[in-house]
Structure 1
Amino acid sequence: TTSENISSQMQEIYETINILAGGIQTLNDDTQRLSSESIKLQSSIESLTQDIGSLKLNVQEQSSFLDGVKPNQEILQQDVASLKQKIDDLQYVSYDATLIWKIVSFNEKMMDAQSERQTSIYSPPFYSSPTGYKMRARLYLNGDGNARRTHMSLFFVLMRGPNDAILKFPFNYKVTFCLYDQTPQQRHIIDSFRPDIKSNSFQRPRSEMNIASGIPKFFPLAMIQQDGNPYVRDDTMFIKVMVDFGDMAKTLLPYALSLNPGLPMHIQQLLIKQEAERKAQQQPQTQPTQISPTNRPLTLTLPPSSETQLPQTIFNIMGTPNASSTNDRPHDVNNTNP
């Protein structure tokens, strides 16, 4: 009986040992499996770490690329704007020594001038002929120099042209500016000046543009800033620039500048010639009065002519004997005057 008990206990111990041995084997298997999985996870972590590093490097490269794209984009935008300006200039190019300059967004440009973000603006270039002088106008809407904040300043700019080598310099032809009255009254503002041939402004251009020269006190700001003034309509202003190669009489300027700009130039010239002949026939045969160039300019208001039905026109009967320059400032439209 004792032997049977011992045998029974031994059998239980063997069974327990077998169970424990099986558990140990299972644990060993689990340990090996976990170890293998741990190795795989470690490898995956290392791979992911490398991928993250590569992604970080790519992000940095992309960031650097984008940082470089922004200034390039700004340069491209400037190039596009410059190209657009050149295309616009070509659309309105004139080859008959006259330019009608349409200035849109007047109020915005005036605010830019007053805040000195952009003190002056340039007209499109124009030419005296297909092979002639290249020119443009420069306008300080809030005035330039001593005329700042009191008058609009309007200047003439001689530009470097493709045929300058065979043209005559210094440039000595009279320049006339006309600010259009856009109402039926057509009280245009007209002023002229004759170049000072000693000035660098009228020598053969050696850079893109010569120093601008013209009329600093062209038109009072108090008048242009009045509500309902006839010179700015629909936020738009028109200025005509005319270079006189034929010494047109001053008395013909109101007539010439009141002609319909839509007429072909040869028709306008014919009408001006006919008007000059008519005036010559009406003029009494008397000795002409000599006007001293030292006299002060006189501003007149001309009534309409009963024969020609000319509108009233304000103009400077003596013009400006010598042009004033822009104090040799560089031609930078973003230039802020000192």
Structure 2
Amino acid sequence: MNDQLEVSSHTTITTDRENDETSYSNLKPLFETANILLGGIQSLNDDTQRINSELLHHQNSIRFLFEDLSKLKISIEETHSSINAQSTSQQILEGSINSLRQQFDDLRNISTDGTLIWRITNIQQKMVDAECERQISIYSPVFYSSPNGYKMRLRLYLAGDGNARRTYMSLFFVLMRGEYDAVLQFPFNYKITFCLLDQTSQQRHIIDSFRPDVKSNSFQRPCSDMNTASGIPKFVPLTIVKQDNNPYVRDDIMFIKAMVDFSELPKSLVPYILTLNPGLPIPIQQESIRRELEKRAQEKLRSITETSTSANHDKPMM
């Protein structure tokens, strides 16, 4: 009986072991697969951590890059602002230099004999500025009657002034406060002649004159930098200077001459004076005028003598 129990127990243990081995054998591939998967998961975790680390590094790099770009943008804007400021400063400086150069040229070319030849450039643009009232008038350089004399200038309205607006050029004389006014005679009472110069050989100059109104404040001793301008409102019709190929505007340049007559020259002598070469020294021009006056005086005397002689010859004999 005991032997039968031992055999039965041994048989049961053997069967269980075989079953376990069979189960293990069946599960072994699963364990191996699970181990492989666990290894893959660990590898994926490692890769994920590495990728996250790289991503964080790239994010930081991008953030730093954007910060650098922002700084670079600010730097570029500041550079542009600096360049614009320098450009503006340069333009202002160039304008100041040109203004100083013009002032120097004006001072170097100051006339001290009571005459002025005013060279006006960019006539077309100045005319447009005058017509649209951006700049209705322009001033000439200063000139003097003598080194210690009256200080004067002209004022030109290219599109006219007052009732002459848009129909005539208006030209005025301006008496200025000078260093020697205390010893000069006032009111100013000398005839003033304006001339728009013909730039061709025809020399068909446009001439007009006026004598100051001694009661006007314009010709009293100046109390400010400049007296009120006075002159000829209807100096030259605009139709003349706006004509194509007119002789008074050439290469967009116009010349106006002003003469203050301190010696009471005959009006008939003005056209002769305007024929003189302005490039000649002043003493030579004055000598030419003196000779012309003498010549005309002699011709007048000769004409009177001849007329008198002829009249005597025509008298009937008694």
Shared fold (TM-score, shorter chain, > 0.5): yes
Q: Which residue matches 2:37?
A: 20
Of 133, 141, 148, the residue aligned with 2:165 is: 148
- Residue type at the aligned position of 1:190: I
Q: Which residue matches 1:261?
A: 278
Q: Which residue matches 2:313?
A: none
Render the CA deviation track for 1:101-146: whole Å, top value 9, x for unaligned.
Answer: 2334444443443343433232222233334333222222232112
1:145-294 equivalences under 5 Å are: 145-161=162-178, 163-164=180-181, 167-227=184-244, 229-283=246-300
> How many Å separate the matches in 2 of 1:50 and 1:254?
80
> How many Å separate the matches in 1 of 2:128 and 2:287?
42
What is the SS of the residue equivalent to 2:113? coil
Structure 2 gaps, min length 5: 1-17, 303-318
Q: Greater CA radius of gyration, 1 or 2?
A: 2
TM-score where L is the length of structure 2: 0.72
- Residue type at the aligned position of 2:176: M
Cα 1:71–1:128 change in 2 (3 A) is same
> How many Å separate the matches in 2 of 1:229 and 1:23?
100
- Residue type at the aligned position of 2:189: N
Render the CA deviation track for 1:55-78: whole Å, top value 9, x for unaligned.
Answer: 454466556657766765664454
Q: Which residue matches 2:56?
A: 39
Q: Which residue matches 2:144?
A: 127
Decide which structure has greater helix share.
2
The question of 1:98 aligning with 2:115 is answered: yes
What is the SS of the residue equivalent to 1:260? coil
The question of 1:138 aligning with 2:150 is answered: no
Q: Which residue matches 2:9?
A: none
The structural deviation recorded for 1:147 is 1.8
Cα 1:24–1:185 change in 2 (3 A) is closer
Q: Which residue matches 2:130?
A: 113
- Residue type at the aligned position of 1:241: A
- Residue type at the aligned position of 1:274: R
Cα 1:146–1:18 change in 2 (3 A) is same
TM-score where L is the length of structure 1: 0.69
> How many Å separate the matches in 1 of 2:75 and 2:245?
61
Q: Which residue matches 1:334?
A: none
Over aligned residues, Cα RMSD in angstroms? 3.4
* Percent of paired sites with the same residue: 61
Structure 1 gaps, min length 5: 286-338
What is the SS of the residue equivalent to 1:153? strand
The structural deviation recorded for 1:269 is 0.8
- Residue type at the aligned position of 2:238: L
The question of 1:51 aligning with 2:68 is answered: yes
Larger RCO (CA under 8 A, 6+ residues apart):
1
> How many Å separate the matches in 1 of 2:100 and 2:259?
27
Render the CA deviation track for 1:217-276: whole Å, top value 9, x for unaligned.
Answer: 222334444555443445443221112233323333232222222221101111212222
